[in-house]
Amino acid sequence: EPEVTQTPSHQVTQMGQEVILRCVPISNHLYFYWYRQILGQKVEFLVSFYNNEISEKSEIFDDQFSVERPDGSNFTLKIRSTKLEDSAMYFCASSDDRDREESASTDTQYFGPGTRLTVL
């Protein structure tokens, strides 16, 4: 069964450094997402991405964050200058295409295993 994959599984970085977290969504999916989970807290939505542009983002997703689909398979999350409070588990997810006009349903988001980011 196809799965979302993420690399690396654990990233350690110094405060102020840039990090890029990588995700390979399921191949025929067209909607992509990033979520994060700070230790002991809820999983929080960061951003959704469709047709090469951000479709929705949360208040957390400020100018320090950016997303990109550099090729036909990868989906990346960049944090330009990491802060201590960026330490968290970052989850990528993807979902299939759907036509909102014709369908009252929404497609399931399939999650990757996560990247644990530790900012020192």
Partner 1 sequence: AQTVTQSQPEMSVQEAETVTLSCTYDTSENNYYLFWYKQPPSRQMILVIRQEAYKQQNATENRFSVNFQKAAKSFSLKISDSQLGDTAMYFCAFMGYNTDKLIFGTGTRLQVFP
Where are the extended beta strands (E) located within the chain?
A: 5-7, 10-13, 19-24, 31-37, 43-50, 53-57, 65-68, 75-79, 88-95, 110-111, 115-119
Q: Which of 11, 23, 36, 48 touches partner 1 by CB under 8 A?
A: 48
Residues 88-117 that bind partner 1 (CB under 8 A): 91, 95, 100, 104-106, 108-114
Q: How far is the CB of 6 from partner 1 (least distance, A)?
A: 9
> Helix, strand, or coil here: 40?
coil
* Interatomic CA distance for residues 114 and 25, integer angstroms: 12
Q: How far is the CB of 90 from partner 1 (least distance, A)?
A: 12
Binding site for partner 1 (CB under 8 A): 3-4, 31, 33, 35, 41-45, 48, 55-56, 58, 91, 95, 100, 104-106, 108-114
